[in-house]
Chains A and B, each alone.
Chain A
Amino acid sequence: MRVQLIALATIVRKEVTRFLRIWTQALVPAVITTTLYFVIFGNLIGRRIGEMGGFPYIDFIVPGLILMSVITASYANVSSSFFSAKFQDFIEEILVSPTTNLVIIVGYVTGGVARGLCVGVLVTLVSLLFTELRVHNFMVLASTVFLTAVLFSLAGMINAIYARTFDDIALAPTFILTPLTYLGGVFYSIRLLPDFWQGVSLANPILYMINAFRYGFLGVSDISLWSSYALIFGAIIFLAWFCLYLLNRGHGIRT
């Protein structure tokens, strides 16, 4: 047990050191992009839009933009880090050691969560330049951002396990993650949509996370909070099991 705890601490330290070493790539771009969203959609266009869900438009989009940056950062951290370790073969440093596959997963996911939360804090601080943030329920807010970061770190790890080239790392974020995030209610309430598209939107898991997170800030949500938690927990359990299954089979890491 002690061996595994030290191994876990080592992976986490290595991961955190890695993204802090490349902070200009890992932390700054998310802050710049989100600042532009605040300026353009929040301030310039937002003023003309008026209210959304009973709140000024910029207040409405802030939670979604924070969570969007957390999702992107946690996913990208694990997918790029684990794939680099595979690509340059230094994943073998861990594979030859007594470190268990579960500890490898927890270590990399913790690294992804750490980067996601760092980016989330930075984006939150920037948002304070544009609006006054209110917190309706801190526990909901904190648990949602944490669990979402865990979920997308696991998803990033599965992407990295399957990836054979760096292009494969970019495919899922470009063709799946970004569309789902933009259509996940960051910029609008799904109540604005016709019934059919509201129904379609409910199939988008990111919608549940953004709404739960928004509830933590504003106290309003298009989705029931318990549905959101059930979906997030269910997805985490499934992805964690699948990740462990792939590593135990040696998929993509052992011949």
Chain B
Amino acid sequence: MTVALAISGLQKTYANGFRALQGIDLEVQQGDFFALLGPNGAGKSTVIRILCSLTAKTAGSVRIFGADIDRNFPLAKSFIGVAPQEFNASLFETPMQVVLNQAGYYGIRRAVAAARAEEDFARLGLWGKRNEQCRTLSGGMKRRLMIARALVHRPRILILDEPTAGLDVELRRLMWRFMTDINRSGTTLILTTHYLEEAESLCRSIAIIHHGELVVNTATRELLGRVDLETLVLELAAPLAALPPSRFQLRRVDATTLEVDVRRETLLNAVFAELEQSGIRVTGMRNKTSRLESLFMGLVQGSEDATRAAAAALSAAAGD
């Protein structure tokens, strides 16, 4: 398997002394659909900005398909496309001008770029707006334009920074389909998102950054396998006055809704059998939170506890 992105010992300390990255080691395989997650301020954007040369790293190395971003930056840059979260094109240009100019900066002839733009605009539902000034586009259109722009030089790695933030359900589904298609066509995708169910359902690998450190970097399936306890929400066929005695952790949310905590080894059949015995009939069931969300909170909390413990140990040692 070819390594698409290899990050080693990546550190970033800003001029004000803030250490945004404390030594990240990360590999993304070619063709992967990779999620880079973390709370706000964790360092995800710093990593992305370093990858595309908008931020200078303090230490470490980055290779994109083997090309070092310091020593062979034109080649490394040609491999990567970035759709930022915030719109960063000229408001007075048209989507077509934005995409053609971007292609030009990558050395792509205008005729080739125009054909690609036509194809991508059609797929992203932007064709009708291609000659309108960008300032007239809606938020969702601007987001899609960022993706079309990032794709025009046909990068081997596409980085999407919060591509679905603030989009309505229909647009979000369009984006999901589009991302999946792009990935299936062979492009390695790196996605940052705050919608954890999005990462859970789309991505094959997940890395979580917290306080500038890599907390997790593994396959999504392996990560979800770590979920030990899930809370299921059960919709009841008839109102329930009081909870029946149960060996499971049942909670009554309202007359027709129950919650039950289920451990990984627990058979759901046993839960349903007991409810059946108590005359409770279930018409629907869903997870209260996404499995990834539960894990994410646990990992982030665990990382903070570890940081606090280390700080306490350091200050105790200093006190000695």
Contact = CB atoms under 8 A, between A and B. Distances in A.
Interface of A: 2-7, 9-11, 13-14, 17-18, 21, 84-85, 88-90, 92-100, 250, 254-255
B306 interface: no
Nearest to A89: B88
Contacts of A94: 105
A3 B54 CA distance: 20
A92 B49 CA distance: 10
Given A96-B53, A98-B74, A255-B55, A90 B88 contact: yes
B105 A99 contact: yes
Interface string B36-51: 0000000000000100
Interface string B72-108: 0111011010101010111110000110111011111
A255 to B, nearest CB: 5
B82 A7 contact: no
A3 to B, nearest CB: 3
B56 interface: yes
Of B14, B74, B89, B104, the most chain A CB neighbours within 10 A belong to B104
Interface string B149-175: 100010000000000000000000000
Contacts of A21: 92
Contact of B54 (A2, A4, A18, A254): A254
B54 A96 contact: yes
A6 B105 CA distance: 7
A97 B88 contact: no
B90 A3 contact: no
Of A2, A3, A9, the most chain B CB neighbours within 10 A belong to A3
B89 A6 contact: no
Nearest to B149: A93
A7 B54 contact: no
B177 interface: no
Contact of A9 (B75, B104, B106): B104
Contacts of B49: 255
Contacts of A10: 100-101, 104-105
Contact of B105 (A7, A88, A89): A7
B82 A255 contact: no
Contacts of B108: 6
B106 A98 contact: yes
Q: Please classify how large the interface on chain B is, using the bins under 10, 10 to 19, 20 to 34, 35 or more.
A: 20 to 34
Contacts of B73: 98
Of B75, B77, B105, the most chain A CB neighbours within 10 A belong to B105
A254 B50 CA distance: 10
Nearest to B92: A21
Contacts of A13: 101, 104
B109 interface: yes
A132 B205 CA distance: 76
Given A7-B107, A89-B86, A96 B52 contact: yes
B77 A97 contact: yes
20 contacts: A2-B107, A3-B74, A5-B107, A10-B104, A10-B105, A13-B104, A14-B101, A88-B88, A89-B86, A90-B88, A92-B84, A94-B105, A95-B52, A95-B53, A95-B54, A96-B80, A96-B82, A97-B153, A98-B74, A98-B106
Given A97-B105, A99-B105, A90 B90 contact: yes
Contacts of B75: 98
A254 B52 CA distance: 11
Nearest to B109: A6
Nearest to A17: B97
A81 to B, nearest CB: 10
B107 A3 contact: yes
Given A254-B56, A255-B14, A255-B55, A92 B104 contact: no
A254 B149 contact: no
Nearest to A93: B102
Nearest to A10: B104
Contacts of A90: 88-90
A20 to B, nearest CB: 12
A97 to B, nearest CB: 4
Of A5, A13, A95, A97, the most chain B CB neighbours within 10 A belong to A97
A98 B78 CA distance: 6
Contacts of B97: 14, 17
Nearest to A91: B88
A98 to B, nearest CB: 4
Contacts of A254: 53-56
A97 B106 contact: yes
B100 to A, nearest CB: 8
A21 B92 CA distance: 9
A75 B105 CA distance: 24
Given A2-B107, A14-B101, 18 more contacts: A3-B74, A6-B104, A6-B107, A6-B108, A7-B104, A7-B105, A7-B106, A7-B107, A9-B104, A84-B90, A93-B98, A94-B105, A95-B53, A96-B54, A98-B77, A254-B55, A254-B56, A255-B49
